[in-house]
Amino acid sequence: MRLIGRHITSSGGISAVMEYAAKMGSNTAQIFMGNPRSWNAQMPNWDNAMFESLKGKYGISELFVHMPYLPNLASSEGRIIELTKVSVRTQIKKCNDIGIENLVVHLGSTKGRPKSEGIANAVAILKEYVPLFNGRILIENEAGQNNNIGASFEDLAEIRDSVDADNLFFCIDTCHAFAYGYDIRNLDIIEEIDAKLGMKNVKALHCNDALFGLGSKKDRHANIGFGEIGRDALKAFIWADKTNSIPVILETPSSPLISESEEIALIK
């Protein structure tokens, strides 16, 4: 059965996460492990036995954890590099302790320094910490804003090849790809992803509509069917032959336009 879920809050604890995901009709979910806007977020007091028990109770096959916003793997600033390493190490250890299978990572921004320098910085951190994770690290593509690296498929492939780790894969965000200039409305994009990244290496799809147009470089998600990509194009993309077994995570906003459970049902 295909994994379909959405990003939800973890503030109520692991039982609340699982129960809420199941009530929405999901069999997976994505969460932040603590406050996503803090360097010193307290890790939740979850353990593996609790996690496995609740997975069985609520029919949740896997969880995805998204790294917080502040870590910047592309940084050349000494203090930011050290804080980033601490954050990555902490997130990996907690995921390992609980048995969480997937950790989604943004590569960050060069802050105006050469892109090659940012890629080298990110590769160095990933080489150090990816081998410590028992699950999969998923590099997410960016929208091309704020000197962020990892927006192009070529950059993503270069980084994965340079790290050369068996558990390093990709998460493709439809809004980010569209905002960067990859036209998700044209299914030729699937062949491009396959050619440059290898579809077997894409272990999650963040299915989000885009508030702004193609190539806008603006990372602003819209509800499915209420953005510039559109319902039909997203349907064609996520249910194509080469994508229809990849887990889908929604990161769309809470909205009066469509409820969270209705949006999960729409994806199905």
* Boundaries of every domain in the chain: 4-267
Q: Which one is the CATH code of 4-267: 3.20.20.150, 3.30.360.10, 3.20.80.10, 3.50.50.60?
A: 3.20.20.150
What are 211-239's pLDDT values in tens digits?
A: 999 999 999 999 999 999 999 999 999 99
Buried b (16+ CB within 10 A) or exposed e, 70-97: bbbbbbeeeebbebbbebbebbbebbee
The confidence score (pLDDT) of residue 43 equals: 83
Question: What band does 12 get if pLDDT is binned at 50, 70 and 90?
Answer: confident
The confidence score (pLDDT) of residue 11 equals: 85
Q: Check pLDDT > 90 for residue 38.
A: no
What are 156-212's pLDDT values in tens digits?
A: 999 999 999 999 999 999 999 999 999 999 999 999 999 999 999 999 999 999 999
Rounded alpha-carbon distances, angstroms, from residue 258 to 20, 28, 224, 263: 17, 20, 9, 6
Q: Check pLDDT > 80 for residue 41.
A: no
Virtual CA dihedral for 217, 204, 39, 166, nearest 10 degrees? Answer: -120
- Yes or no: say if 230 and 178 are a contact pair by the CB < 8 Å rule: no
- Yes or no: say if 7 and 208 are a contact pair by the CB < 8 Å rule: no
Amino acid at residue number 167: N
Over the chain, what is the mean pLDDT? Answer: 96
What share of the chain in percent tops pLDDT 90?
A: 92
User: What pTM was computed for the model?
Assistant: 0.96
Question: What band does 1 get if pLDDT is binned at 50, 70 and 90?
Answer: confident
Q: Check pLDDT > 90 for residue 155.
A: yes
The confidence score (pLDDT) of residue 31 equals: 96
The confidence score (pLDDT) of residue 40 equals: 79
